[in-house]
Structure 1
Amino acid sequence: LVFYALCITLVYLVVERRTGNRTIGAVSMPLAFLAMAYASLSPDMSDRIQPLIPALKSNWLIAHVVTCFIGYAAFAVAFGVSLMYLFKRPGPAPSAGAMPPIETLDELTHQLVVFGFLFLSAGIITGAVWANSAWGRYWGWDPKETWSLVTWFVYAALLHARLTRGWRGRRIAYLSIAGFAAVLFTYFGVNLLPGLHSYQSMGQ
């Protein structure tokens, strides 16, 4: 979660640099703060360093975790931008300290989802390669694998709807929020279910 908070911060800083607007941080950085707070205060988080089990000693695992977290971070910032879109009234930004125009928020959500989708796809692929090297199969319908695929399909549906049906605005914002809800369940919820990923605590 500490790495996830770092990824959210880095994605936000890139967005701020590109847009020149800091108000997006008002909805993005609290997510990084919550991740850090959970990692620091949750009883599920151990501060003891323990040896890794053999299945975790793989460069493919590192690639899998890094790509997934970068994708999740982009989805987190897209979630924040989508919330801004839903509360923003149409019209240009009257000052540098105000929220970006509603058209900018819509396009920014799309760009963040595309970025996150590419990294999530890479994360699923590297995870499959790691699973094959660790357990001898690429896919086993483990709860976390299944929900990662569900998350992938939610964002794939968002991109498909935008590119082929021209969906914009509130529809895309709602799909972005639904996608991030799937992200949260993929990371937190499935840890309550039995599976090959059950060795992971939610604080990792």
Structure 2
Amino acid sequence: MTVNTTLATYSDWTYATAIAIYVLSMLFYLAEQAFGRFARRSERVEAATVGGSGGGTAVLDRPAPPRVTPAGRPLPERLGRMGVALTVLGVALHASAVLTRGLAVHRVPWGNMYEYGSAVCLAAMVTWLVLMRRFPIRRLTGFVLLPIVVLLFLGGTVLYANAAPLQPALQSYWLVIHVSAAATSSGILLLPGVASLLYLVRTANEHNPRRFARLAPRLPGADMLDRLAYRTTIFAFPLFTFGIVCGAIWAESAWGRFWGWDPKETTALVAWVVYASYLHARATAGWRGNRAAVINVLGFAVMVFNLFFINLVVSGLHSYAGVNG
């Protein structure tokens, strides 16, 4: 089938626009943090000593009231709400970019690294919007958007591939099943990695208030970060497992063996073992807390390594899904 160049161009435009909207919303979240910090600073108030005989004054510290806008809400809250609105708009544009890319090439839009990376980031952002409705984690969105924006920027520059038909090795219904499961689970697993990293920051500050003194107080409590990381991982892990199993079945159909220790297969297995270890550690009383969070951060690092380094540097049977499609 021929490629619809008009839809492909629209996809590229909406992709770039989504990145710009994500960056703008990230700035609003950072502004919320900044104005929130200013609102929490102490103002020095002089008060006469009891009796007034000493003629001196006592200096009291009390929190300054938050700056209130004419609409009646504190300015930091309004900035955060504007950031959420922009995030929703960015996700809508991002989804439109993925959809129009698929319509342009008449197939599922994850046949090369550019498309796959876009699908992974979309899964992460949709999941984050769902989590924001269940947890009071809006102030963490800036930390989540930073790696998403970096990944999307690399996808649109270094990894970009023109819209084109699939290579013969990818023309299988398993592309829909295996790659969609892998992309969705990989995108979701980016989020608990960020949460566990911030959990380590929070606990480090609790043990030593001088460490991360400016960042840690703005984060949610350590218990919430731990709970967020665990629940997200335990949701995504079965889907990730399903993706690996489907990949093995596809490998048997395409290459005549279920497992061949290809670099991407091996790294995916390592990531699976790391996340299984995290869930086991999190369920074991003696390994909860920092040690479990370190394991989850390690899993996050392996996933990013598998997503970029394995596809771009190491050659293997999965190289047909590289930069050039």
* TM-score tier after normalising by the smaller chain length: 0.7 to 0.9
How many Å separate the matches in 2 of 1:124 and 1:40?
A: 27
Name the residue aligned to 2:152.
36
- CA deviation map 1:74-111 (0-9, x unaligned): 22111111122122255xxxxxxx53221111111111
**Selected match of 1:117 from 237, 240, 245:** 237
SS at match of 1:146: helix
Amino acid at match of 2:160: M
- Please tell me whether the aligned partners of residues 28 and 80 of structure 1 are also in contact (alpha carbons under 8 angstroms): yes
How many Å separate the matches in 2 of 1:85 and 1:30?
A: 17
Question: How much has 1:166 moved relative to structure 2?
Answer: 4.0
Amino acid at match of 1:138: F
Question: How much has 1:71 moved relative to structure 2?
Answer: 1.5
Question: How much has 1:146 moved relative to structure 2?
Answer: 0.6
**1:197 paired to 2:315:** no
- Please tell me whether the aligned partners of residues 27 and 81 of structure 1 are also in contact (alpha carbons under 8 angstroms): no
- Please tell me whether the aligned partners of residues 119 and 184 of structure 2 are also in contact (alpha carbons under 8 angstroms): no
Amino acid at match of 1:169: G
How many Å separate the matches in 1 of 2:156 and 2:232?
A: 28
**1:173 paired to 2:289:** no
**Selected match of 1:56 from 148, 170, 174:** 170
When normalised by structure 2's length, the TM-score is 0.57
**Selected match of 1:26 from 142, 147, 161:** 142
Question: How much has 1:165 moved relative to structure 2?
Answer: 4.6
**1:134 paired to 2:230:** no
- Please tell me whether the aligned partners of residues 84 and 105 of structure 1 are also in contact (alpha carbons under 8 angstroms): yes
Amino acid at match of 1:61: L
Whose RCO is larger (CA < 8 A, sep 6+)?
1
- Please tell me whether the aligned partners of residues 174 and 246 of structure 2 are also in contact (alpha carbons under 8 angstroms): yes
Question: How much has 1:180 moved relative to structure 2?
Answer: 0.8
When normalised by structure 1's length, the TM-score is 0.88
Amino acid at match of 1:56: L
Name the residue aligned to 2:305.
185
- Please tell me whether the aligned partners of residues 8 and 29 of structure 1 are also in contact (alpha carbons under 8 angstroms): no
Question: How much has 1:154 moved relative to structure 2?
Answer: 0.6
Structure (1 or 2) with the greater strand fraction = 2
Runs of 5+ unmatched residues, structure 2: 1-116, 207-217
How many Å separate the matches in 1 of 2:270 and 2:164?
A: 32
**Selected match of 2:181 from 40, 46, 67:** 67
Sort the Cα spacing of 1:125 and 1:55 in 2 relative to 1 into closer, same or farther, 3 A.
same
Question: How much has 1:203 moved relative to structure 2?
Answer: 7.7
Between the aligned residues of both structures, percent identity stands at 37
How many Å separate the matches in 1 of 2:324 and 2:272?
A: 23
Amino acid at match of 2:290: R
Name the residue aligned to 1:4.
120
Q: What is the total number of aligned residue pairs between the two structures?
A: 196
Q: Please identify the structure whose Cα radius of gyration is greater.
A: 2
